[in-house]
Structure 1
């Protein structure tokens, strides 16, 4: 008969295996041929993006599918974002749009994109965040999938990291992908890179229909489905990358904080349950190895070798899975540190949910 310790070990193994099951659907954006070469409008909302915008504009110059136009919407920046966009107009068919002041009931990004679409002429609309870095074939693959699948097609970029603090974002990147279904007609959208036909965009109600939503991509996906249009999502897997929150640890904390509560509320409960079970095993492993070594409170077998095996299994799993999600070097091996960071930001998100807002890029952003 299995003892309580044995049952505990079995439950940890089951939760570890659940992690592999959750990661099985990390489907990269397929490469496909265009049905025809459409007129493509690329729309880029940009607020204080002088450090990142050039990477995107340089990437657009080398695309195998050249856009009809590139529209940079300067979301009332206080830096040199507009100057960088105007300088790039010598090398790209680029126009700079500066929208009217932000009206009540709108978020900055939705207002910017709404105004950008009104100034665009393409039959296909591609929305790219200013910090994205597309490989040369990105537009062709993204537009080809939109032609094949219809509706809204999006891609979550590969997370490129440089500085030490960026390794702390390990779990946010991974959980955000494991907690949702991916692939054709999955019903999920990622805001950094999206493509849609103008016809389907207008049928959905566009950004005007999600004007006050902080995580506008999730709610835009709902609008497409309500209009009877498919919503598909993939991972970038080196076709498109970005460096999230290069402005420092504070930006990283607030950036994840502002999306945490709203996004969590949109996850379907079976997926949420599976992710919580997997995370519970990960948290257990993160605590038990140091606890067994340092004599901290511990339930179950105190022998360090057992907990070292469990810890090593989760570290190996994180190393393998994250290769397709982002460039995380040391954090999978010492995942106890990203676990503590994840829990800290989660608690901060709960506090800010009660407060009702956080400050982001000089604006008060609602967390409700």
Structure 2
């Protein structure tokens, strides 16, 4: 029964779950049919290692319309603002102390929004570099076909051994959780965004009540997408024109990245956590177990489910230039993510949460 259930789950995931595994769509370089003014808002807290190339790449955008970059220095202690440089198109704002009830990133973004005037806003992270064609391609997709918000999963850093082992899986699991085809279908309720690159119409942001509507959320990108999609179309894709330069050289770096938000994603619910772990066991562990230990139908069901799982990972591995054999490690990778999710819950229950930029996240009341 369990082997059959695991196979049925994989038949659904592979054939009926929005082709999550396709690692698509990707926005091509394009020239927009109109040139609305755009303000690019970068929240930055202690980003001395990355801020200079990030700002330089944004100031070099080949966009024929008017645009400027607004850097919100969120009380950095490492000289982030000074390293950003000086440019006529660059405005640097010294962030105010975080207001009660706001998450740090959203409070910084809010200050950038208040300082901006353009009808189009690009929220971008302080660790992402941009091809000169990137802003134009984003605006093109916002205009044709019309969308209220366009977001992209940028290419994540994938050079160290821990990154090669775990980062493509992070993207793959995100696609599984939020199939891009369903996100982009206005008739479906599925909504998501990737916070590193979010282009949004000012009117759409105002319509949902501004960033204040989601001010306390930790997974702010998905929360913003849900609010926007209630009244207008959104788009989520992959980017070939933007790359994260934040390294994760140690397994502990990726572990901390997951534990910071995993239990929040589950609404801090022990019941949802238990259900998630059971589901992940059925999806990732039952099939390989049956391949090794099963006989007859159990073996065949496990083999078929495993084959679907492995095949579904190939497009993501290709995107990150990793060998197909890496797909055989998916059960072990899944165990890592399951353990990190449990750790995220334990941190929350202990009242510690996770640490990011000298701030605590994820504990009760955080």
TM-score in same-fold range (> 0.5): yes
The correspondence for 2:137, drawn from 128, 141, 154, is 141
Once residues 137 and 279 of structure 1 are traced to their aligned partners in structure 2, the CA distance between those partners, rounded to angstroms, is 43
Match of 2:232 in 1: 229
Deviation string, structure 1 residues 53-102 (Cα, Å, up to 9, x no partner): 233223224322165211111111222312211x2x24x61111111111
The correspondence for 1:199, drawn from 200, 203, 210, is 203
Once residues 288 and 77 of structure 2 are traced to their aligned partners in structure 1, the CA distance between those partners, rounded to angstroms, is 42
Q: How big is the shift at 1:168?
A: 1.9
The answer to whether the 8 Å contact 2:258/2:341 transfers is: no
* Stretch of structure 1 that moved more, 30-39 or 68-77: 30-39
Residue pairs, 1:158-173, within 5 angstroms: 158-166=155-163, 167-173=165-171
Once residues 115 and 299 of structure 1 are traced to their aligned partners in structure 2, the CA distance between those partners, rounded to angstroms, is 59
Residue pairs, 1:1-368, within 5 angstroms: 11=8, 14=11, 17-18=14-15, 21-24=19-22, 26-29=24-27, 31-65=29-63, 68-85=67-84, 87=85, 89-90=86-87, 93-148=89-144, 149-166=146-163, 167-180=165-178, 181-183=182-184, 185=186, 187-226=191-230, 228-236=231-239, 238-243=240-245, 246=248, 248-265=250-267, 280-287=282-289, 292=292, 298-300=293-295, 314-324=309-319, 326-329=320-323, 331-356=326-351, 357-366=353-362
The answer to whether the 8 Å contact 1:168/1:331 transfers is: no
Instruction: Describe the shift of the 1:197–1:311 C-alpha distance in structure 2 as closer, same or farther (beyond 3 A).
Output: closer
Q: CA RMSD in A?
A: 3.5
Once residues 281 and 231 of structure 1 are traced to their aligned partners in structure 2, the CA distance between those partners, rounded to angstroms, is 29
Q: How big is the shift at 1:300?
A: 4.0
Q: How big is the shift at 1:179?
A: 1.6
Q: How big is the shift at 1:342?
A: 1.3
Q: How big is the shift at 1:196?
A: 1.5
Q: How big is the shift at 1:24?
A: 4.2
Once residues 195 and 57 of structure 2 are traced to their aligned partners in structure 1, the CA distance between those partners, rounded to angstroms, is 18
Once residues 42 and 183 of structure 1 are traced to their aligned partners in structure 2, the CA distance between those partners, rounded to angstroms, is 23
Once residues 241 and 321 of structure 1 are traced to their aligned partners in structure 2, the CA distance between those partners, rounded to angstroms, is 16
Scaled by the length of structure 1, the TM-score of the pair is 0.80
Instruction: Describe the shift of the 1:195–1:320 C-alpha distance in structure 2 as closer, same or farther (beyond 3 A).
Output: closer
Once residues 156 and 97 of structure 1 are traced to their aligned partners in structure 2, the CA distance between those partners, rounded to angstroms, is 27
Unaligned runs of 5+ in 2: 269-274
In the comparison of the two structures, how many residue pairs are matched? 346
The answer to whether the 8 Å contact 1:65/1:140 transfers is: yes
Q: How big is the shift at 1:26?
A: 2.9
Deviation string, structure 1 residues 103-157 (Cα, Å, up to 9, x no partner): 2211110000000111123221111111112222211111122223232221111
* Stretch of structure 1 that moved more, 345-354 or 276-285: 276-285
Q: How big is the shift at 1:328?
A: 4.0
The answer to whether the 8 Å contact 2:48/2:79 transfers is: yes
Match of 1:269 in 2: none
Deviation string, structure 1 residues 251-286 (Cα, Å, up to 9, x no partner): 3212221222233459xxxxxx99986873432345
Instruction: Describe the shift of the 1:14–1:57 C-alpha distance in structure 2 as closer, same or farther (beyond 3 A).
Output: same
The answer to whether the 8 Å contact 1:53/1:81 transfers is: yes
Unaligned runs of 5+ in 1: 267-272, 293-297
